[in-house]
Structure 1
Amino acid sequence: MTSALTKIKIFLEMIRFEHTLFALPYAYLGAFLASGGVPSFRDFIFITLAMVGARTAAMSLNRLIDRHIDALNPRTRNRALPRGLIKVSEVYIYTVLSLLLFFWAAANLKPLALKLLPLALFVLVIYSYTKRFTWACHLVLGLALSFAPLGSFVGIEGAIPRPAYFLAAGVLFWVAGFDIIYALQDAEFDRQQGLYSIPSRFGIEKALKIARGFHFLTIIFFLLAGIGFGLGFFYYFGVIATAALLLYEHWLVKPTDLSRVNTAFNNVNMIISVLMFGVTVIDLLI
C-alpha cells in the first residue's frame, strides 16, 4: 500500500497536478456563464472530472513523449521518468485511466461534448510534438487550455455563444504568453537540440516582446468577452487587476535576469486564473 501511494505521489508531482489551477478556474468560469449563475451540482462535478481527466492525460503524455529530451536537459533531467522513479508502463496506465475519466465525464454532459472530444484529444496529443517542428508550440498549448471555458459551454449548453470565443482567445494568448516566458529557461538547450520555441527562434529579448504582445491581446479579448456577456463592474475590475498582474509578471523577468521566471510562471498566473473566476462569479451573483 505504501509503495502504491508513493508511486501515486511521484506521478502527481511529475505531472505538476497543482497546475490544474491554471485551467480549472476557467472551466468553472465558463460553467457559471453557461448556466447564467451557479451550475447544477451534476454539471459542476462532471466538468471538474472532465478537466482533471483531460489535463492529467495531457501532462502524462507530455512526460512520456518528452522523456528522452527531458533526460538531456539539465533543468528537467531530475524528473521522475528520466530518473527511473516511475516506470513508463505505469505512466501509460495512468494515462489510459485519465482518458477513460475524460470520456466518462464528457459522456455525462451534453451530447456535443462527446462528439467534439476527439478534437480536444487531437490538440492535447499534438502539443507534445509541436516543439519538434514549429515555434508556434506556445499557441498550441494556449489553444489546448482555451478549451477549458469552451468545454464548459459545450457540456452545459450544448453550444458555444460568440462571446465565449473571445474568452477562449483571451485564455489562449494568456497561456501562450506565459509559456514563452517559461521557455526562456530552455532557449539555448532548444537551439542545441534543434527544438522549436519562440525564445530559441527569436532570442530572449524579442521573445519577451512577443509575450507582452500576447498578454496585451489577452486583456483585449477579456474586455470583449465582458462586453459580449454583459458583465459589470466586478468583472472589469478583475480584468484591470489581471492587466496589473501581467505587467508585474513582465517586470519580474528581464532579458539579463531569468532568476524569477518560476515566480512569474507559477504564482502570478495562478492568481490571475483564480481572480478571473472569482470576479466573474461575483458579477453574476450580485
Structure 2
Amino acid sequence: MNWDPGGASQNRSKFYVLMRFLRIEQTLFSLPMAYLGAFVVLRRIPSIYDLVLIFSALFFLRIAGMTNDNLADREIDSRNPRTRTRPLVTGVISVSEAKVMIIIGLIGFFVSAYLVNFWAFLLSPIVAAVVMTYPYMKRFTAFANYHLASIQGIAVFSGAVAVLGQVYNSLPQIIYDVPWLFVLSTIFWALGFDLYNHIPDAEFDSQLGLHSFAVMLGSNALKFAGLNQVGSVVLAFFADYLYNLGPIGFLSTILHGIIMAYAYYLASRGDFGRAFYYNIYSSIVLGLGVDIDIALGIPFL
C-alpha cells in the first residue's frame, strides 16, 4: 500500500528525481500505442520524420501534463502518506521549476504538432486541454478515471492524425479514418491501470471529498477495472479483424489479455505496485505487436 510511481528518495541525484517526477518510463510505454495509430492507418512503417515528431509531441506533452498533475495535487500529495515523497512535496523540485517545465512542455508540444501537419496543429489545443484539465476532474466526478484513460486513447488518435493529415486535406475524412476501435480499446485498458493507482487511496480520497470509481464502487472497484480490461481485449480483437492484421497482431492481443489478467490477479492480492506496471507492459505488447505485424506484413495462411 506504500507504493507510489511518482515518489523519489531525497538522497538521489536531481536527474533521477526528475525522471521519477515525470514518470518517464510511462512516456516510453505509451509510444508503441501512438505509433500503432500511425502504422494502422498507413499500413506500412511511417517515415523517420513522422516517427520522430510523434515521439517529440508525446514527450513534451508528457512533461507538461505530468508536471501540471503534480503541481495541481501538491497539497493533496503532502497529506497522503503514500505520496509524501513526491519531489514537489519534498521540495527537491520547486514550484517555479515546475512552472517552467510546463511552459517548455507545452511549447515543445505545439511546435512538434506544427511541424507534423496543419491538422495536427489545429487539433493540438484540444489535445492539450484534455491533458491539462485531468488533475482537476477528480474534484468533481468519478469519471476523472475515464478522463485519464482518454489521454492514453488520444495517443493512438494523435499518431493516426499525424500521418493522415499528410494524406487528406479534409478534417472529417481524417477523423473518420482514425482507428477508433484501438482508441476505445486503449481507453478501457487505461481505466484499469488508473484504478490500480486509485484503489489504495480510496479511503483517503473519500475523506478529502475527491472522486474516483475506487471511491464510488468501494470493494467492487477492482471488478470494474477487470470488466473494462476484458472490454479492451474484445475491442482489440475486433480491431485486429477490421484492420486486417496478421498472426502477430492477434497473438499480441492474446498476450495483452494474459498480462492484464495476471495484473488483475496481483491487484486482487493487494500488490497494486506490480499490478500497475504489469498492466503497462500489456500495452507495450499490444502496441509493438501491431506495429511489427504491419511492418512485416505477414498474412494469415
Q: TM-score, normalised by structure 1?
A: 0.93
1:262 aligned partner: 273
- Tell me the residue number matched to 2:171: none
Task: Report Cα offsets for 1:114-164 as digits up to 9, x if no partner.
Answer: 111111111111111011011111100011111111101111112244561
Q: Does 1:198 align with 2:213?
A: yes
Matched residue type, 2:125: P
Give yes or no for the alignment of 1:177 onto 2:192. Answer: yes
Return the alpha-carbon distance in structure 1 between the equivalents of residues 216 and 56 of structure 2. 37
Letter paired with 2:228: F
1-structure distance, mates of 2:132, 2:203: 25
Partner of 2:291: 281
1:137-286 map, 5 Å: 137-158=144-165, 159-162=174-177, 164-203=179-218, 205-254=219-268, 257-258=269-270, 260-266=271-277, 268-284=278-294, 285=296, 286=298
Give the whole-Å Cα distance in 2 for the aligned partners of 1:97 and 1:40. 26
The CA distance in 1 between the partners of 2:180 and 2:39, in whole Å, is: 15
Equivalent-residue separation in structure 2 for 1:62 and 1:18 (angstroms): 16
Deviation at 1:212, TM superposition (A): 1.1
Bigger shift: 5-14 or 116-125?
5-14
Q: How does 1:50-89 map to 2 (within 5 A)?
A: 50-89=57-96
Stretch moving more, 40-49 or 234-243: 234-243
Unmatched runs of 5 consecutive residues or more in structure 1: none
The answer for the alignment partner of 1:114 in structure 2 is 121
The number of residue pairs the alignment matches comes to: 277
Q: Distance in 1 between matches of 2:187 and 2:27?
A: 16
1:208 alignment partner AA:
L
2:247–2:293 contact (8 Å) kept in structure 1:
yes
CA drift of 1:6 comes to 4.9
Q: What's the CA shift for 1:7? A: 4.0
The aligned amino acid for 2:183 is A
| CA gap 1:233/1:175 in 2 versus in 1, 3 angstroms | same
- State the 1:8 CA deviation: 4.3
Residue matched to 1:37 = 44
Structure 2 unaligned regions, length at least 5: 1-11, 166-173
Write the deviation string for residues 94-129 of structure 1: whole angstroms up to 9, x where unpaired. 111111110111001121101111111111111110
Distance 1:161 1:132 in 2: 33
With the length of structure 2 as denominator, give the TM-score of the two structures. Answer: 0.88
* Alignment counterpart, residue 35 of structure 2, candidates 16, 21, 28: 28
